[in-house]
Chain A
Amino acid sequence: MRKLGLKLLVLGATIGSAFGVAACGDSAGGKEGGTLTGSYAAFPDYLDPGLSYLLEGWTAMYDTYIPLLTYAHATGEAGSKVVPGLAKSLPKISNGGKTYSLTLQKGLKYSDGTPVKASDFTSTVERLFKLNSPGTSFYSDIVGAEEFAETKKGGIAGIETNDATGEIVINLTKPRGTFVNELGLLFVALLPSGTPAKDLTANPPPATGPYVITKAERGRGWSYERNPYWAKANAELVPEVPSGHVNQIEISVVRNDSTQVSNVEQGKTDWMQPPVPSDQYASIKDKYEGTQFRIDRPINVYYFWMNTTEPPFDDLKVRQAVNYAVDTAALERIYSGSLAATHQILPPAMPGHEEFDLYPHSMAKAEALLEQAKPSDLDITVWTDNESPNDEAGAYYQDVLAKLGFNAKLKTINADSYFTVIGNLSTPDLDTGWTAFVQDYPHPSDFFSLQLLGESIAPIYNTNFAQIDVPALNKKITKLGEEELGPEQEAEYAALDKEFMEEAPWVPYGNNTLSTFVSSEIELDEIVFNPTFGQDLTSFQFK
């Protein structure tokens, strides 16, 4: 999940040549150096770029691990632009959209001094498949990737590299209109060859970005220092990535959101990653908007998924009934007004969005459909995480199901492990539950291919929680994913949105805003909110 922002920030940057320290240059009013303190409400799913698939993890690693391509360090639409990362330039696309050629910058180093090689890209991609990473679906079209995914042996034939020249050639089995975007994701941030194919959260791998994670204690926090090889080697070669203003960053996990707010207000913490909790939203906004608080608008959708492979949700009428029964207006209140109600897949501002509502709230219609369906299995487990107000959204949903006559039990899982639990298909009673999705990149295929495509169902790290697999719709997703996005494709995505909602694998209920809240010591206007990666740690600067 990633975040989208509103304001465009301009950071002046000058490259320092001082030994061991990258002087990132002067921005108006800010000073260089210092230790930034921040807090998260939960430890990220992983601090391993090959595994993390949550906003919290991507925010944490955006400035640590750099792929061949990256996203511009800018807020809003400018931040959706793909720019060169460790590669010299954007790829040359040939062979009818099936071949991507890039060249690695020469002289790059990891934070432990190891030279970055072209073949590291191959081993990084192979590692994803060895890990059964949730990111593998983005790269499954590489020639040989599917075979490698099965056997984990023999390498991925479709990636050719030359360490001497730095050339990297990627051959796909078919054209893929989103591949440039996907090359900018952290999943393929280069790691040294030989990086173990296991979760490295406790001991994160060497970095290529301006910061390196020096310590990580799951559940408690982690720390960054400047990457010693950023100034010495990488900064000049990766001009699109700023060097950062602060020297150190200390992040701690503070589970209570109110405590985080109070810490920021008192200046004990400089920044809180989660949005301000809803019960304090109005008062914090009134008091600090423009000075320490601002609203950012990511592109996301919040929804309840229903397992379409098991009763009772294997019955379309039951799923449609639940859609009629959920009142999105109630959920708007549960989110204290920060959520805008929706009943469809694509959010506003996403290309292909055309507003519609197939299931305006009606308990009468819901009950009538259930009467027709007569589900035999009334025992349902409703999953949700323990972060407010998502847990309350889950409790509301459980109450709606109970009012429909189901024996609905709520299961609340710690946010640290929620997606791991519901993404593991061997977890028992995966009937229905809460989730939210923020765009990976500004392309409607992102919303469909990961969450609604039959092929994306995976035994672990699954992201198609509804486990929906409709061949006709799969074909449309795949076909549209191969094409460049234009008006015709946007219209087709709008139609696809409606077709999926007719299948009703989800109950989408809202698009949420997020907030940035910082202490009085931080330059609020300088903070970049990238639509894919959230707050950019290189943009934090003390007054």
Chain B
Amino acid sequence: MAGPAGGSPWRLAWRRLRANRVALGFLGLFVLTVLFCLAAPIWADKVAHTGPNDTHTLQKIEVDGEKRDVVNVEGKPIGPVWLGADGKFFLGADGRLGRDEMVRLMYGGRISLFIGIVSALITTILATILGLLAGYYRGATDAVISRTLDVIWAFPVLLLAIALGLTLAVGGLQIGPLHLSGSSIWIPILIIGLVYTPYVARPIRGEVLALREKEFVEAAVAQGAGPLRVMFGELLPNLWSTIIVFFTLAIANNMLLESALSFLGVGVQPPNTSWGTMIATGLNLITSAPLLTIIPGTMILLTVLAANVFGDGLRDALDPKSKIRFEAHSGLSATEGSERIEGIVP
């Protein structure tokens, strides 16, 4: 008997995703943002001729033939000059320090994206391991892991992250021989990666509990497969679609949290820049130079939106069953139902 046309689940998922133009469009936006930020060293070196932290308070530049202060005597920074100075200060200066806003936007995006992606990786890896262990072993192991996750989950995410950030800001973090200074970007990465772990681990645990009862697991055990082989050889492949979806959605959530922490002064530490710190800096000049706040805020909005919409599309492509089940039985949309069961929304 011939099998269905199209073959493997991955190929089918790719077909569904390809048909979702909106998701692909936002993927394209996300990729463009990443490329924009990756181009930071090129722009800084070849166009702006300045680094992200270089100050130019007393400097004058020629804009369309006219000499202008980067920062005037009253402390007001120059606004966007676009291509009037051959690309230098394209978006103007970031404040009284006279740093190039465009350069900082690009470098800041690198840091925001790096933190968002790496912390999402940490979240999904930690959550997968904990979910597998709790779901497979059940009993005391499940109880310990689940209660620990419950304790972390009990704290509002932002408050927990602020508390950890403040604690580690001065002395840094010592893990054995490894010391991270308070200004290291690994501090917010680890904090954000940790605080969102329960939101991903619990649903993965739920899936493992369900998969564990399937015949293929029984068969593997009957063939002599040990726990590690079952978890990572049998269960994990069936979780990939869930993990990938969580990963993309976690990028969006984690970038938002990073922006909030950096804005509050407990995330990325100055003079390093992220979009969150740029909003905080711009706030000091909100009345005289509102673009300094609007531009990085818009970048956060677009990037998080892109990650979220693509993540939704990916979920629809990889896990259509959840869509059918929810629409048929609960009257909830796939998004509403999935978010409830996933607990991804704190």
What per-residue 1/0 map shows which CB atoms of B269-288 lie under 8 Å from chain A? Answer: 11100000000000111111
Q: Are A333 and B181 in contact (CB under 8 A)?
A: no
B149 within 8 A of A: no
Complex-state Cα separation, A240 to B206, whole angstroms: 74
Q: Are A427 and B170 in contact (CB under 8 A)?
A: yes
Q: Are A411 and B269 in contact (CB under 8 A)?
A: yes
Q: Are B170 and A279 in contact (CB under 8 A)?
A: no
- Residues of chain B from 167 to 202 with CB closer than 8 A to chain A in the complex: 169-171, 181-183
A369 within 8 A of B: no
Residues of B within 8 A of A409 (CB): 181, 183
- Residues of chain A from 241 to 297 with CB closer than 8 A to chain B in the complex: 256-258, 277-283
What per-residue 1/0 map shows which CB atoms of A412-426 lie under 8 Å from chain B? Answer: 111000000100000
Q: Are B75 and A395 in contact (CB under 8 A)?
A: no
Chain A nearest CB from B61 CB (Å) reads 15
Q: Are B75 and A334 in contact (CB under 8 A)?
A: yes
Which residue of B74, B95, B169, B265 is within 8 Å of A282 (Cβ)? B74
Q: Are B183 and A389 in contact (CB under 8 A)?
A: no
Closest to B287 in A: A280
Q: Are A399 and B75 in contact (CB under 8 A)?
A: no
Which residue of B73, B97, B284 is within 8 Å of A396 (Cβ)? B97
Which residue of B96, B169, B181, B288 is within 8 Å of A392 (Cβ)? B96
Chain B nearest CB from A161 CB (Å) reads 42
- Residues of chain A from 34 to 76 with CB closer than 8 A to chain B in the complex: none
Residues of B within 8 A of A523 (CB): none
Chain B interface helix/strand/loop/mixed: loop
Residues of A within 8 A of B76 (CB): 279, 336
Q: Are B53 and A402 in contact (CB under 8 A)?
A: yes
Chain B nearest CB from A254 CB (Å) reads 13
Interface residues on A, range: 35 or more
Q: Are B183 and A410 in contact (CB under 8 A)?
A: yes
B55 within 8 A of A: yes
Q: Are A279 and B171 in contact (CB under 8 A)?
A: no
Q: Are B75 and A333 in contact (CB under 8 A)?
A: yes
Residues of A within 8 A of B54 (CB): 399
Chain B nearest CB from A201 CB (Å) reads 19
B235 within 8 A of A: no
Chain B nearest CB from A288 CB (Å) reads 15
Q: Are A399 and B55 in contact (CB under 8 A)?
A: yes
B31 within 8 A of A: no
Closest to A386 in B: B265
Residues of B within 8 A of A388 (CB): 284
Q: Are A392 and B265 in contact (CB under 8 A)?
A: no
Tell me the total A-B contact number using a CB cutoff of 8 A. 95
Q: Are A277 and B58 in contact (CB under 8 A)?
A: no
Q: Are B75 and A398 in contact (CB under 8 A)?
A: no
Q: Are B75 and A410 in contact (CB under 8 A)?
A: no
Q: Are A329 and B96 in contact (CB under 8 A)?
A: no
Complex-state Cα separation, A395 to B269, whole angstroms: 11
Complex-state Cα separation, A16 to B264, whole angstroms: 48
Q: Are B55 and A280 in contact (CB under 8 A)?
A: no
| A281-B74, A333-B73, A409-B183 given; A392·B95 CB < 8 A | yes
Chain B nearest CB from A324 CB (Å) reads 16
Residues of A within 8 A of B55 (CB): 330, 395-396, 399
B204 within 8 A of A: no
Residues of B within 8 A of A431 (CB): none
B242 within 8 A of A: no
Q: Are B265 and A279 in contact (CB under 8 A)?
A: no
B304 within 8 A of A: no
A166 within 8 A of B: no
Residues of B within 8 A of A283 (CB): 287-288
Chain B nearest CB from A78 CB (Å) reads 32
Complex-state Cα separation, A334 to B284, whole angstroms: 12
What per-residue 1/0 map shows which CB atoms of B284-305 lie under 8 Å from chain A? Answer: 1111110000000000000000
Most B CB contacts (10 A, CB to CB) among A256, A333, A336, A427 go to A333
Chain A nearest CB from B185 CB (Å) reads 12
Chain B nearest CB from A423 CB (Å) reads 13
Chain B nearest CB from A512 CB (Å) reads 13
B17 within 8 A of A: no
B318 within 8 A of A: no
Closest to A428 in B: B171
Residues of B within 8 A of A332 (CB): 73
Which residue of A279, A282, A411 is within 8 Å of B182 (Cβ)? A411
Complex-state Cα separation, A336 to B283, whole angstroms: 16
A497 within 8 A of B: no
Closest to B72 in A: A333
Which residue of B57, B182, B286, B288 is within 8 Å of A333 (Cβ)? B57
Residues of B within 8 A of A256 (CB): 283
Complex-state Cα separation, A256 to B264, whole angstroms: 11
Q: Are B285 and A279 in contact (CB under 8 A)?
A: yes
B256 within 8 A of A: no
Which residue of B58, B75, B181 is within 8 Å of A278 (Cβ)? B75
Which residue of B71, B96, B170, B289 is within 8 Å of A413 (Cβ)? B170
Q: Are B57 and A330 in contact (CB under 8 A)?
A: yes
Complex-state Cα separation, A333 to B181, whole angstroms: 31
Residues of A within 8 A of B270 (CB): 391, 395, 410, 412
A446 within 8 A of B: no
Most A CB contacts (10 A, CB to CB) among B71, B72, B270 go to B270
Which residue of A277, A386, A395, A413 is within 8 Å of B97 (Cβ)? A395
Complex-state Cα separation, A409 to B271, whole angstroms: 8
Which residue of B73, B166, B182, B284 is within 8 Å of A277 (Cβ)? B284
Residues of A within 8 A of B169 (CB): 413
Complex-state Cα separation, A137 to B289, whole angstroms: 46
Q: Are A395 and B74 in contact (CB under 8 A)?
A: no
Q: Are A410 and B284 in contact (CB under 8 A)?
A: no
Residues of A within 8 A of B171 (CB): 428
Complex-state Cα separation, A335 to B96, whole angstroms: 8
Closest to A403 in B: B54
Q: Are B283 and A258 in contact (CB under 8 A)?
A: yes
Complex-state Cα separation, A395 to B55, whole angstroms: 9
Which residue of A258, A279, A399, A411 is within 8 Å of B183 (Cβ)? A411
Chain A nearest CB from B74 CB (Å) reads 5
Complex-state Cα separation, A421 to B71, whole angstroms: 32
Which residue of B96, B269, B289 is within 8 Å of A336 (Cβ)? B96
> What are 8 pairs between A and B in contact, CB < 8 Å?
A283-B287, A333-B73, A336-B96, A395-B55, A396-B55, A410-B183, A412-B269, A421-B170
Given A333-B57, A411-B183, A413-B170, 9 more A-B residue pairs with CB atoms under 8 Å apart are A258-B286, A281-B75, A332-B73, A333-B71, A334-B75, A395-B270, A399-B53, A399-B54, A414-B265
Shortest beta-carbon contacts, A-B, top 3: A336-B75, A330-B57, A334-B96
B residues within 8 Å of A by Cβ? 53-55, 57-58, 71-76, 95-97, 166, 169-171, 181-183, 265, 269-271, 283-289
